Chain A
């Protein structure tokens, strides 16, 4: 029997909402980059999808997710097999992976930018990480995005300054492929949960976090969202889920992930 919690943070709500993205994945490598995506994948593996695979964020596959942060000296992680970076690509290109990452820009086509902002390509105004593994991830397997600050600098009006990952943009569709080959799952933000299930892969509102209005989401998105007639509220974490999250994050790193660590219900 699960009991809905009444006292929970927005970070915890986002972890639970993000975990839902992995619910029906079956036996794939769940990669959550960053504290909230990693806790989300870990929570999914510990509860409704025990078939998920997960790494130690270094070089081993685990049968049990590691808690985040410094662990006791006698801690022994549950290694399953070696999973160094070269082998990660064997997994990526086989398609048996679902990654959840936080790009700096996301456009209406679900294309993302992790590389550079403004200026010219030869001399960008703000250089970031680079394309990283986004091109390969986006064309090889399922991807979800987590955005801790939903605003129209992330969800930009035009196309990404640099397109790191393929999305649902017909102008960029490679010959012989279909837009349906692109597999973007959920977009979880501090305001809501979305997917690209609107008409012609339009970004669609799936649920609003407690106390958030539709208008607030649309105002903070640089392009038109697909908004169903009725939009449900993102379900609160259960007491059981909060206990599992606390055990996975004993140093409470989740409290530092969203500005001012607000409560989950902002009504």
Chain B
């Protein structure tokens, strides 16, 4: 099955009001080109589920988000994401604020077709106070109460990987695949952008096959977008764009998202990449040191 689509056609599958999971972590390996395609669309009222970075900030600032399911939103070296803060501080979005691990459990429950997974995480905290829909349950095996972390079912997941073939076999060569495998499994429709489209032969090497973290049946669409994670990183191909994130953060205080988008977004990814200095410049971005 040939799963290749253009970014525009892939994002056209998303409908107003859908729940959209976004892979990656903070400023790392975010499907930013697909996020930009949402920014160019008329989509609205999305529920976004993410270990958030600028993906969340941009979507909130552009008015695409009705509700956010999150544990944090951060650019790492810039700890506080400026547009997410503005969205929260203006009361613009509904939130389901949970622990990082609860988010993982919610994705697992959705992936496994379970209504919930029991955990002690969240007990004694305001995660429960502010999420009355997250219920406590009794255990059939002990006398303690447990948090029943509900399944976080996703209509769509957006992911970015290093390489993929047209069947949807996806390689993440970087040091961490984060929770992308669970985002892929928790979604009805998983759309994956890749830096490079490769022949299936690429995966015959067992070392490369070990860098594939979900089966192709969990991938519904493949979009080839070299540099598509920019300004987030796609280690080992390129690091995150520190200067761009600083300009993005500064725009929140001067000009706002409209100024940022009019300077950079463009009509398509080719124009975006011209606006940020070109693909060669993206691929030359140094990897971060932690």
Residues of A bordering B, CB below 8 Å = 56-60, 69-71, 82, 84-86, 89, 92-93, 111, 115-116, 119-136, 138-140, 162-167, 169, 172-177, 182
Contact = CB atoms under 8 A, between A and B. Distances in A.
B277 interface: no
B99 A136 contact: yes
B80 A128 contact: yes
Interface of B: 25, 70-74, 79-80, 84-85, 88-91, 97-102, 104, 119-127, 129-130, 142-145, 175-179, 181-182, 289-290
A167 B74 CA distance: 25
A125 B85 CA distance: 10
Contacts of A134: 99, 125
B97 A176 contact: no
A174 B123 contact: yes
A84 B130 CA distance: 29
Contacts of A176: 142-145
B176 A59 contact: yes
A115 B290 CA distance: 24
Given A115-B97, A136-B100, A136-B102, A129 B144 contact: no
Contacts of A139: 120-121, 123-124
A169 B176 contact: no
A93 B142 contact: no
A170 to B, nearest CB: 10
Contacts of B73: 129-130
Given A84-B178, A126-B89, A132-B100, A140 B80 contact: no
B290 A56 contact: yes
Contacts of B179: 85-86
Contacts of A173: 124
A133 B100 contact: yes
Contacts of A174: 120, 123-124, 144-145
A167 B125 CA distance: 9
In this complex, the member of A86, A134, A177 whose beta carbon has the largest number of chain B beta carbons within 10 angstroms is: A86
Contact of A136 (B72, B88, B90, B101): B101
B104 A164 contact: no
Contacts of B98: 131, 135
A71 B124 contact: no
Contacts of A177: 123, 144
In this complex, the member of A125, A130, A175 whose beta carbon has the largest number of chain B beta carbons within 10 angstroms is: A130
Given A123-B89, A127-B88, A176-B144, A60 B99 contact: no
Contacts of A93: 101, 119, 121
Contact of B126 (A120, A133, A162): A162
B89 A127 contact: yes
A71 B289 contact: yes
A135 B177 contact: no
A166 B125 contact: yes
B186 to A, nearest CB: 13
A129 to B, nearest CB: 5
Contacts of B175: 58-60, 82, 84
Contacts of B70: 130
A240 B289 CA distance: 27
Nearest to A128: B80
A173 B79 CA distance: 31
B253 to A, nearest CB: 15
Given A129-B74, A131-B98, A133-B100, A84 B123 contact: no
In this complex, the member of A59, A70, A120 whose beta carbon has the largest number of chain B beta carbons within 10 angstroms is: A59
A29 B56 CA distance: 31
B29 to A, nearest CB: 12
Contacts of A131: 71-72, 97-99, 125-127
B120 A86 contact: no
Given A56-B290, A84-B178, A132-B100, A165 B72 contact: no
Contacts of B144: 174-177
Given A59-B175, A92-B101, A177-B144, A135 B91 contact: no
A65 B130 CA distance: 39
Given A56-B290, A163-B125, A177-B144, 7 more contacts: A70-B289, A86-B179, A93-B101, A93-B119, A123-B90, A131-B127, A136-B102
A140 B102 CA distance: 13
A173 B145 CA distance: 11
